[in-house]
Chain A
């Protein structure tokens, strides 16, 4: 236990480590539980999807990891330090369902804004050009967000969240508001970027298909307040392509996750159905 050098057989420190996380929101004079006893580990370069019914605290979990919200209980460490220090390292990226681009800045300026705040890195200019190209919006660099479709805006949000080379990308239902075709495109583009950037991703989603398609591991949360029901390893080959649809292993993983979620829904329906039952 006293090895001083970092040998290759010593597992690297996880990027995110969540232990016994509990969060309660004040509602009037009372509090409502959003998360209870959640454990979660995200290793370096890992893609972790978090899935669960509405109101299971997925977004709360993400806000806590981002250091935007202080949990009411439990420990969270990001990059080996507390979340505030992690935020200060400017190595986080955030993409939300409604991306919150600045409508008075054009696409290029929205992306450059990140660098204005984090400070430019070597080759930043070329990287912005390359990044806009890579997410397919270079033709729209001088457009304003109001002139773009939802899918295009989400690409801008992705570029804006990646331009400073974050080590951890946090995504909150980023493709939830998109049409099916854009969603499909964005999923594979995200995978490409992730494979090139070697960063870790925490990806909150409602979609079972999306979770299994993208992630190394799928964390299934139970409903209100959120707890980790199970973690499913997705040992499908990478790079993943649309041909996965025909892969029986993919289908059986989908069924596994769906099974966990359905039994969860049944249980909560049951609780609601029996008068006098309290959770």
Chain B
């Protein structure tokens, strides 16, 4: 019991220690070499910038997260529905794959301004861009997942004359979940990229806009503050997905932590 506690403490302690050391080295480097703040601010200066107006960062984070999560949910749902059709018929898969692929290979920055023209400066274009960037990985993983049915379980259900519908809900959907979660893990950072890129290009409020303004002002501490906030958002989202995954996929061998 005690040993287990010690091991857990150690698991927690080492990353904290390493991060602290890195920050300390950074701080020392900036102070000793007297690095200009607009080039590289010290961690203490970044912290000061964050604490100077925490509400601004919090509001930006909230808006960007909203767009990222909204886009991710929209893409996951849309991709899954399309994946059901594609997993059902090879012909449909062949027909739908090229446009899906075209969507994937088109650089998002090229399409984003168009979304602003169509949907204005609010939440809608941001959600759609985040959805667009996460759609393909969700689609591919859902199709593979829906096809990854244990043939023995399938045979058994057919032997007792389960309907296609019953097989879909009882077997196909649960079997697809490990792949759907793998897709989510890939898509979480992408959704943040989508939200921030949308804010860059449309200038609508959020962390992306914060970065844009700080960049224009040569306010590097705020810029770094925004980057740290973005990193924290990424960690938060990834950890949330991992948490849900561990609850939902308790039965799956390689349901991993982070």
Contact = CB atoms under 8 A, between A and B. Distances in A.
B251 A98 contact: no
Contacts of B162: 117
Contacts of B171: 102
Contacts of B158: 66-68, 87
B174 A102 contact: yes
Nearest to A84: B161
Interface stretch (A12-20, A89-97, A209-217): A89-97
Contact of A113 (B159, B170, B252, B253): B170
Given A90-B160, A160-B156, A104 B251 contact: yes
| Residue picked from B150, B158, B159, B161, most chain A C-beta under 10 Å | B159
B99 interface: no
A57 to B, nearest CB: 16
What's the dominant secondary structure at chain B's contact region? helix
A272 to B, nearest CB: 31
Contacts of B88: none
A114 B160 contact: yes
B252 A103 contact: yes
Nearest to B162: A117
B159 A102 contact: no
Residue in B150, B151, B251, B252 whose Cβ sees the most chain A Cβ within 10 Å: B251
A63 B155 CA distance: 9
A109 to B, nearest CB: 10
A102 B153 contact: yes
A100 B160 contact: no
Nearest to A102: B153
Interface in B152-193: 152-162, 166, 170-171, 174
Contacts of B252: 103
Interface in A140-161: 144, 146, 160-161
Interface in B133-155: 150-155
B176 to A, nearest CB: 12
Interface in A57-111: 63, 66-68, 87-90, 92-94, 96, 98-104
Nearest to B252: A103
Contacts of B153: 100-102
Contacts of B156: 94, 96, 99-100, 160-161
Interface string B32-66: 00000000000000000000000000000000000
A117 B152 contact: no
Nearest to A113: B170
A144 B251 contact: yes
A51 interface: no
Contacts of A101: 153
B251 A103 contact: yes
A118 interface: yes
Contact of B170 (A87, A102, A170): A102
Contacts of A118: 160-161
A91 to B, nearest CB: 9
Nearest to A63: B155
Contacts of A144: 251
Interface in A108-153: 113-114, 116-118, 144, 146
A232 to B, nearest CB: 28
Interface in B233-253: 251-253
A164 interface: yes
Nearest to A144: B251
A112 to B, nearest CB: 11
Interface in A157-173: 160-161, 164, 170
Nearest to B249: A104
Contacts of A160: 156
A242 to B, nearest CB: 30
Contacts of A87: 158-159, 161
B174 to A, nearest CB: 5
Contacts of B154: 100
B251 A117 contact: no
Nearest to A160: B156
B255 to A, nearest CB: 11
A94 B171 CA distance: 17
Contact of A100 (B152, B161, B166, B251): B152
A135 B20 CA distance: 58
Given A68-B159, A87-B158, A117-B162, 13 more contacts: A68-B155, A89-B161, A94-B155, A94-B160, A96-B156, A98-B152, A99-B156, A100-B153, A102-B171, A104-B251, A118-B161, A144-B251, A160-B156
Interface of A: 63, 66-68, 87-90, 92-94, 96, 98-104, 113-114, 116-118, 144, 146, 160-161, 164, 170
